[in-house]
């Protein structure tokens, strides 16, 4: 885990393997970046595939 200070906030960043249960958060992130809804079912199918691969990671964050 890494701590980073951004402005007045401290952010904990944890890099870990992607998991199927990440689908909702990744969908929301997709909407933020692209500005359009994502297909959660297709995204979940992709996460099921990549979660078995050793080289796919996500960074989760906690804002303090």
Q: What is the full DSSP assignment across 16-57?
A: EE--GGGHHHHHHHHHHHHSS---HHHHHHHHHHHTTSTT-E
For 10-37, the pLDDT digits (tens) are 778 888 888 888 899 888 888 988 898 8
Is the per-residue pLDDT at 44 higher than 80? yes
How many distinct structural domains can be found in the chain?
1
- Residue 23: CB atoms within 10 A of its CB come to 20
CA distance 34 to 42: 16
Residue numbers of the domain that contains 45? 2-63
Q: Residue 12's pLDDT is what?
A: 81
pTM of the model: 0.63
């Amino acid at each position: 885990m890494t701590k980073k200070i951004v402005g007045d906030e401290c952010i904990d960043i944890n890099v870990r393997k992607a998991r199927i249960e990440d689908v909702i958060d990744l969908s929301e992130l997709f909407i933020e970046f692209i500005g359009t809804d994502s297909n959660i079912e297709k995204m979940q199918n992709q996460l099921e595939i990549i979660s078995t691969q050793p080289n796919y990671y996500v960074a989760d964050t906690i804002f303090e």
